[in-house]
Amino acid sequence: MARDFKEGAGAPAQAVSAIVGTGPGNGAALARRFGAQGAPVALLARSSGFSAALAQELPSARAYAVDAGQPEPLQTALAQVAARQGPVGTLIYNAGSGAWGSVEEVTASDLEQCWRVNTLGLFAAVQALLPGMKRLGGGNIIVIGATASRRGGAGAAAFAQAKAAQRTLAESMARQLWPQGIHVALIVIDGIVDLPRSRQRFADKPDDFFVQPAAVAESAWWLAQQPRSAWSFEIEARPFGEKW
């Protein structure tokens, strides 16, 4: 593939964008934004029901069922993406798992599962895709993070440690890979994503309390298009109504 880098961005313009964690909310919005105008996208999710239906909306999308917390199946699925759709130039790691409770309430399996999905899956996905990105001459790795990566709330013992590990892994990769033309970036979601279940739980909150998935996707797209002379590592997505 010719190295057609749009505006000096990390990945060639026609390379595949692989979205790990394609469900309602951010995942669907990311798929629609990166799959706009016929651009090829791979939609990876634990269950293929939603992602398969979403793939029907997009002209060059395919859905793959895989658990992001299982490294070998995830790497196999990403190899299938490359074989069926072409080389992956952009990885968007949106998979997440959370268990809530204090250190006395969560279990070791809760802790491990959060880490497997949030951190180990990212590690496995990057290892699978790096050789192809290097052959392309560049790429993007965009991680959807959370405020819990910066502070451990009393009821987030399992989730916070996983997101902190994810953020540190992303920073380590960024420092290593940027000189090789691979842009690693993290979007810290600081707020409640606008989903039907979120609206039910926070029924008294106004619209500007919620993080809009389409806006998160636009931020990810902006990161993927950044010129190489001015790359960002970490940005925040915070709704207007959020206190901070």
| Residue 1 within any structural domain of the chain | no
| Residue 31 within any structural domain of the chain | yes
Counted residue by residue, the chain has a size of: 244
Residue 131: the pLDDT is 97
| Residue 158 within any structural domain of the chain | yes
CATH code of the domain in which 144 resides: 3.40.50.720
Number of structural domains the chain divides into: 1
Residue 30: the pLDDT is 97
| Residue 9 within any structural domain of the chain | no
Q: Choose among 5, 17, 173: nearest CA to 87.
A: 17
Contact 187, 149 (CB under 8 A): no
| Residue 6 within any structural domain of the chain | no
Weakly modelled stretches of the chain, pLDDT under 70: 1-9, 99, 101, 148, 152, 191-194, 199, 206, 241-242
Per-residue model confidence as pLDDT tens digits over 163-184: 999 999 999 999 999 999 999 9
| Residue 24 within any structural domain of the chain | yes
| Residue 58 within any structural domain of the chain | yes
Structure tokens at 132: 């192809």
Query: Whole domain around residue 101: which residue ranges?
Result: 16-237
pTM: 0.90
Q: Which residues of 206-217 are buried (b: 16+ CB within 10 A; e: fewer)?
A: eeebbbbbeebb
Q: Choose among 193, 215, 217, 214: nearest CA to 205.
A: 193
